[in-house]
């Protein structure tokens, strides 16, 4: 039996030419790179996106503030009790058909902040821990969500332009996009069961 291997390297596209262009050609170059990567691989990585390393590291620290709490505190925000499935997912809550055992990760979900739950539950309020100071979790996580949402909309715009459509297409088809943010923490490999 022969096993064929492929070394596929996904392109890393610098979005700064689109976000802060120095010339009109800069935007067109980024659009072309994204279009080509989408057509060839279906995926790409980005840099020059404007999210600072310090904000990314800050998010990880704030997540640690939440995940390091006692299980009882985290379970008060269980996403299983929330009609929008926002909040905390405990280790073991995720078991898909065919899995040998539940997933060992824990996660926290948020989405766009809407005042009331709208069926079927895509829109509604987020859950936030009341026992942590706002600046220790809620404020920085929400700020990061807003920054990455804006980045996501920019990438959508680039994709739409790469397909030959005007950016205004998003005004018609993405009036209230569903943009969840899933923040995951896996335990160290030494703390998980084999399989």
Query: Which pLDDT score is estimated for 23?
Result: 95
DSSP letter, residue 118: B
Residue 75 has pLDDT above 60, yes or no: yes
Q: Residues 115-170: pLDDT tens digits?
A: 999 888 889 999 999 999 999 999 999 999 999 999 999 999 999 999 999 999 99
Tokens at 172, concatenated: 């018609």
Query: Which pLDDT score is estimated for 44?
Result: 96
DSSP letter, residue 10: -
The model's confidence at residue 1, banded by pLDDT at 50, 70 and 90, is very low
> What span, in angstroms and rounded, lies between the C-alpha atoms of 188 and 1?
35
pLDDT (mean) for 107-119: 93
- Say what the pTM is: 0.87
Mean pLDDT of the chain: 91
Tokens at 108, concatenated: 């926290």
Percent of the chain past pLDDT 90, that is, above it, reads 76
Cα Rg of the chain, angstroms: 20
> What span, in angstroms and rounded, lies between the C-alpha atoms of 20 and 13?
14
Task: With beta carbons less than 8 A apart as the criterion, state whether 17 and 2 touch.
Answer: no
Task: With beta carbons less than 8 A apart as the criterion, state whether 36 and 158 touch.
Answer: no
Query: Which pLDDT score is estimated for 195?
Result: 55
Query: Which pLDDT score is estimated for 176?
Result: 85
20: exposed, middle or buried (C-beta count within 10 Å: 0-12, 13-18, 19+)? Answer: exposed
The model's confidence at residue 67, banded by pLDDT at 50, 70 and 90, is very high
Query: Which pLDDT score is estimated for 98?
Result: 80
Query: Which pLDDT score is estimated for 193?
Result: 64
Query: Which pLDDT score is estimated for 7?
Result: 78
Task: With beta carbons less than 8 A apart as the criterion, state whether 92 and 102 touch.
Answer: yes
Task: With beta carbons less than 8 A apart as the criterion, state whether 59 and 141 touch.
Answer: yes
Query: Which pLDDT score is estimated for 2?
Result: 47
63: exposed, middle or buried (C-beta count within 10 Å: 0-12, 13-18, 19+)? Answer: buried
Query: Which pLDDT score is estimated for 192?
Result: 67
Q: Phi/psi at 48 (nearest 5 deg)?
A: 65, 30
24-40 and 138-162 helices cross at what angle (nearest 10)? 90
Residue 54 has pLDDT above 50, yes or no: yes
Q: Residues 2-25: pLDDT tens digits?
A: 456 677 889 999 999 999 999 989
Task: With beta carbons less than 8 A apart as the criterion, state whether 158 and 167 touch.
Answer: no
């Amino acid at each position: 039996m022969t096993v064929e291997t492929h070394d596929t390297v996904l392109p890393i596209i610098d979005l700064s030419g689109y976000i802060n262009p120095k010339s009109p050609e800069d935007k067109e170059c980024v659009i072309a790179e994204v279009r080509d990567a989408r057509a060839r691989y279906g995926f790409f990585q980005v840099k020059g996106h404007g999210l600072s390393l310090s904000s990314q590291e800050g998010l990880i620290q704030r997540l640690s503030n939440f995940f390091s709490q006692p299980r009882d505190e985290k379970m008060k925000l269980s996403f299983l009790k929330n009609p929008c499935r926002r909040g905390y997912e405990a280790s073991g809550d995720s078991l898909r058909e065919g899995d040998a055992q539940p997933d060992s990760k824990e996660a926290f979900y948020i989405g766009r902040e809407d005042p009331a739950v709208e069926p079927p539950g895509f829109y509604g309020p987020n859950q936030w821990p009341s026992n942590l100071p706002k600046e220790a979790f809620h404020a920085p996580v929400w700020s990061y969500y807003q920054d990455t949402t804006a980045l996501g909309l920019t990438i959508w715009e680039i994709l739409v332009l790469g397909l030959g459509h005007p950016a205004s297409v998003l005004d018609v088809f993405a009036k209230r996009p569903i943009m969840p943010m899933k923040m995951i923490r896996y335990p160290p490999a030494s703390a998980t069961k084999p399989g």
